[in-house]
A and B are shown apart, each in its own frame.
Chain A
Amino acid sequence: MEKISQSVVKKDHAPKISGRSIYVADYPSEGVLCGKILHSKVARARIKGVDVPELPEGYFYVDARDVPGDNNVNIVLDDTPVFCRETVEYIGEPIAMICGPDPAKVEEIRDACIVNYEELEPVLDFRSADEKFFDYNFGHGDVDKAFKEADKVYEEEFETGYQEQGYLETQGMMAEPEEGGRMFVHGSAQCAYYIHGAVKRVLGCDSDGVHILQDVTGGGFGGKEAFPSILGCEVAVAARKCNKPVRCVFDRREDMEYTSKRHPSLCHYKAAVKDGRVTALDIDVKFNAGAYSTLSAVVLQRGIIASPGIYNVPNVRVHGWAVKTNTTPCGAYRGFGGPQTFFAIEMLMDHIAADLGKDSLEFKEAHLVKEGDVTSTNGKYHFPVPVKDMIEEIDKACDYRKKRAEYKKPQSGRYRRGIGMSMYFHGAGFTGSGERDLIKAVAKLRKYKDGRVEVLASNGEIGQGVRTTFPKIVANELDIPLDRVFYDHPDTARVPDSGPTVASRSLMVVGELLRRAAIKLKEQWADGEEQEVEERFKEPDFLIPFYLDKFEGDAYPTYAWAVNAIELEIDTYTGRAKVLGAYGNFDVGTPADYNIVLGQMEGGFLQGIGYASIEKMEYDNKGRIRNNSYSDYLMPTTKDVPNLKCMLHVEKYPEGPYGAKGAGELPLVGATSAYLEAVEQALGGVKLNHAPFTAEDTLAVIEKEGV
């Protein structure tokens, strides 16, 4: 194992395990007003007015009229209001915030507010919804010709549902007016500078008028990429009006019903097959964006870029669209569009293989991309594709081929077994030219007189370990003990904008900036002096520039690769599935810390297994999320899986620190299709096309197919 990969005790281990870490809800309440949001109770309506009960002294009603600047939250577009405009567009949309010292009283006032709605017909049926937020087309080759010449054409629709991030700490933000009119906003978040940009616009102040601190954050998984910008604006507006600190921490139901989650999807695939090979794909990907566009543009981009999978198909046409419905806006969640389309392509390949009388694995292997091949967007796979080797490693770990053959034989009795495999990538870092054109990351190192070195960057520790891995990289280059390097939670008042904590980019992109900064610092090192060095992002030379308008070029500089296998047993009397083994082989380049990276793989993999099986969330015919609690939205417990078997295959990326690539999202992306392939096999070779695939779904298939 390389030196950098050797595990250390994480820098935030002691404060977290001892319960000393202060999360946003843990700051004392003295002098802090509690803010609670008055949420819309209807999916679409014109607000005629709100009857607010008489407010006791010290209590405030805050709404759009109190926004000093622009009532639009800056995300990708600006359509998300801080507080609603004249209409509300989904159940849960913030109408106002009630603030006051006593939480119970605030809640009482909030519940006594009477909102006069003039109800409008909401759009709830995602299938028929056609108001497009985003619409992209791209492809290569001659698709029509390939279909004309095909031996056989396959057509199938795949559907996936919501997935809730389920971080244990709910959303929470706090704003504190400071002397001189500056606003201090802090809380549970991934992207301090996103919040900074949003709040300064809403308060109508310049960059120095507001600063953002990321507090200790109890999990993000994408759910705290954009939403904290919205909540941050709300508490900032409230704190400005009340002229007191205001804190708003969501309860679990609010969080599950009203904050962003993974986009439900409908993926329609058409495949042309000639001489046993897929020659063309005609793909239509539709995402349910919800009521506002938030991050749907970028989620959709990543989803459609991945839609042909990791297969070399010469002719591809992709249409992707994200439509508006009057439901909770969807947003970022680990994998960011990839889990939906990889599910579709993996199942499609599996189904075509079955129809051709071939095994799924053999068929997929015959189509694998390799180094030098063209990507879906006419970019290039610049580096070796290690998937074939990774398949062999998985096969060795779980005897995949043998079990696959064994379980293919007719089974009888109550319990039936199956095993399935998926293979996929996660494009490392931002999609397209975002890193070059939008983020332009800057990272710094500050050396103090006593020789300690501080990392100055804006990437937040959300459990993934950057408070440890960043200092590890710096200490390694400087060749000084790890305890001499530290990285505090970022405050925009004192750290440069090294970009958001998203897209599996922090370690690969910012970690490399820090490595280079450390080299620079070492060259200049002068004992007893305070020194500062800075590094700025530079796009790698080898990249084929990406143009969003043409949807062409290298969407990613490199890819993290994975092969998953899941073995399970179905109880044909109840439909319940028992995972017997889950095997994940992940290539995220060189691990910056073996245990930390393995922990990312295991955690993400289990989220993927949950997404495949038990994590079901739906809205009712009024547009209200039904599964709004931890008892109604089920995430895996310790007893739902055995120890997951994760391994790391290392294919180094020369532009990442020590060869590291994006890691955080990869493990979630492909579990679903491995799981469903296994279910299909256990049920005697049926074809399945939606996820999550629950016990109830399984029993329905058993009854329908007479399994």
Chain B
Amino acid sequence: MVNGYIARSLTEALKIRAEKDVVPYAGGTDLMVENRKDVEYLFINKVPELKKISVDDEYVRIGAGVTFTEALENNDVPELMKEAVSRIAAPAIRNAGTFGGNLGNGSAKADSVLIEFVTDSKLCLASEKGERIVDVDKFYLGRKKLDLKSDELIKEILIPKKGIDNYSYEKVGGRNALAISRISFAGVFGTENGRIVKAAAAFGAVSDTVLRFKDIEEKLIGKTIDEAKAIKDEYLKAYAERMVLTRGRVSAEYRKSVCMNLLKEFLSKNGI
């Protein structure tokens, strides 16, 4: 019995991925807890092409195999992302856990994924046939359902470089370390010439996927702060109606209250 494959290059990894029914193993922190006996792993934790962090004109590109600790020690990774991953579990988990794994596990509690949602990040997916770029919110099809074909691997996360400096981030866990998010919130706000150009708000760990309602965000776009204040109630009401949350170790009601509080705080921090 072959019980897994160790890939030494991306080419080799994609070849095995195309030919075999394998589960990609990046950091192992989720897979080893599940401890499924019926799968074969494709070990990509030492694939050099997946371990790079680079910057181009538009994006900071984080390799799917980059660990959270590596990101924290890198100068190009945006502060918002650093803040979120610095709160993940504890050092040993951050040393192992990767950006690709956080995505591939498909959980709405993934702390790096929340940031990818709120920043409109894109993912580069690779297969032997080539690469394709997808928006992160399109990548998530539902609870634990991903737009990832059986011959594909997540190669890179593309985080926009600009327009994400003015952010809010809040993680509500059961304790201050080794805590899985019970509610997480990230917001990015921007104005140009006195008018709002960005009011992104994303909620993690409260539903099957990260929640973001771009149509509600639209209500604020193009408005001045005073105009935004005038429609604040309507805006909040729209969120309150749309947020149908699931229960977990905490109730759906608690989650909703916290989400609304954090959303209000996000507005008020930006003068609304």
Contacts and interface: CB of A to CB of B under 8 A. Distances in A.
Report if A and B associate in a common complex: yes
Interface of A: 414, 572-576, 614, 627, 630-632, 634, 636-640, 695-696, 699-700, 703
Interface in B241-266: 249-251, 254, 257-258, 261-262, 265
Contacts of B254: 575, 695-696, 699-700
A614 B174 CA distance: 7
Interface of B: 90, 170, 172, 174-180, 183, 249-251, 254, 257-258, 261-262, 265
Given A574-B258, A695-B172, A637 B177 contact: yes
Contact of A640 (B170, B177, B251, B265): B177
Given A637-B90, A637-B177, A637-B178, A576 B172 contact: yes
A82 B261 CA distance: 53
Q: Which of A573, A575, A627 has the most CB of B within 10 A?
A: A573
B257 A703 contact: yes
Contacts of B265: 414, 573
B179 A574 contact: no
Nearest to B265: A573
Contacts of B251: 696
A572 B265 CA distance: 11
A362 to B, nearest CB: 34
Nearest to A700: B254
A630 B178 CA distance: 9
A252 to B, nearest CB: 11
Contacts of B262: 573-574
Contacts of A637: 90, 175-178
23 contacts: A414-B265, A572-B261, A573-B261, A573-B262, A573-B265, A574-B183, A576-B172, A614-B175, A630-B178, A631-B178, A631-B180, A634-B174, A636-B175, A637-B175, A637-B176, A637-B177, A639-B176, A639-B177, A640-B176, A695-B174, A696-B250, A696-B254, A699-B254
Nearest to B261: A573
A573 B172 CA distance: 10
B257 A699 contact: yes
A109 to B, nearest CB: 15
A267 to B, nearest CB: 26
Contacts of B183: 574
A699 B175 CA distance: 16
Contacts, number: 51
Contacts of B261: 572-574
B interface secondary structure, majority = loop
Contacts of A630: 178
Given A700-B254, A703-B257, A574 B249 contact: no
Contacts of A636: 175
Given A572-B261, A574-B261, A631-B180, 12 more contacts: A574-B262, A576-B172, A614-B174, A614-B175, A631-B178, A634-B174, A637-B178, A639-B177, A696-B254, A699-B257, A699-B258, A700-B254
B257 A640 contact: no
A632 B249 contact: yes
Contacts of A414: 265
Contacts of A699: 254, 257-258
Given A574-B183, A632-B249, A640 B258 contact: no
Contacts of A638: 177
Q: Which of A414, A574, A639, A699 has the most CB of B within 10 A?
A: A574
B170 A574 contact: yes
B129 to A, nearest CB: 39
A163 B268 CA distance: 40
A574 B172 contact: yes
Nearest to A697: B254
B258 A634 contact: no
B217 to A, nearest CB: 21
A699 B90 CA distance: 27
Closest 7 CB pairs of A and B: A573-B261, A639-B176, A637-B177, A639-B177, A696-B254, A634-B174, A574-B172
A634 B170 contact: no
B250 A640 contact: no
Contacts of B174: 614, 634, 695
A575 B175 contact: no
A384 to B, nearest CB: 40
Nearest to B172: A574
A636 B179 CA distance: 11
Contacts of A695: 172, 174, 250, 254
Contacts of B170: 574
A565 B257 CA distance: 30
Q: Which of B172, B183, B265 has the most CB of A within 10 A?
A: B172
A614 to B, nearest CB: 6
B83 to A, nearest CB: 16
Contacts of A632: 249
B179 A634 contact: yes
A574 B183 CA distance: 9
A700 B174 CA distance: 16
A576 B172 CA distance: 8
B170 to A, nearest CB: 7
B213 to A, nearest CB: 20
Contacts of A639: 175-177
A703 B180 CA distance: 25
B53 to A, nearest CB: 27
Given A574-B183, A696-B251, A634 B175 contact: yes
Contact of B175 (A640, A696, A703): A640
Contacts of B90: 637
Nearest to B174: A634
B260 to A, nearest CB: 9
A523 B254 CA distance: 69
B36 to A, nearest CB: 14
Contacts of B250: 695-696
A110 B180 CA distance: 32
Contacts of A640: 175-177
Contacts of A696: 250-251, 254
A576 to B, nearest CB: 7
A414 B262 CA distance: 11
Contact of B258 (A573, A614, A627, A631): A573
Nearest to A613: B175
A560 to B, nearest CB: 29
Contacts of B249: 627, 632
A521 to B, nearest CB: 49
Nearest to B257: A699
A572 B180 CA distance: 21
A696 to B, nearest CB: 4
A636 B177 CA distance: 9
A640 B179 CA distance: 11
A580 B254 CA distance: 24
Contacts of A573: 258, 261-262, 265
Q: Which of B174, B176, B179, B262 has the most CB of A within 10 A?
A: B174
A631 B179 CA distance: 8
Contacts of A572: 261
Contacts of B257: 699, 703
Contacts of B177: 637-640
A630 B33 CA distance: 12
Contacts of A703: 257
Contacts of A576: 172
Q: Which of A414, A614, A640, A695 has the most CB of B within 10 A?
A: A695
Q: Which of B90, B180, B261 has the most CB of A within 10 A?
A: B261
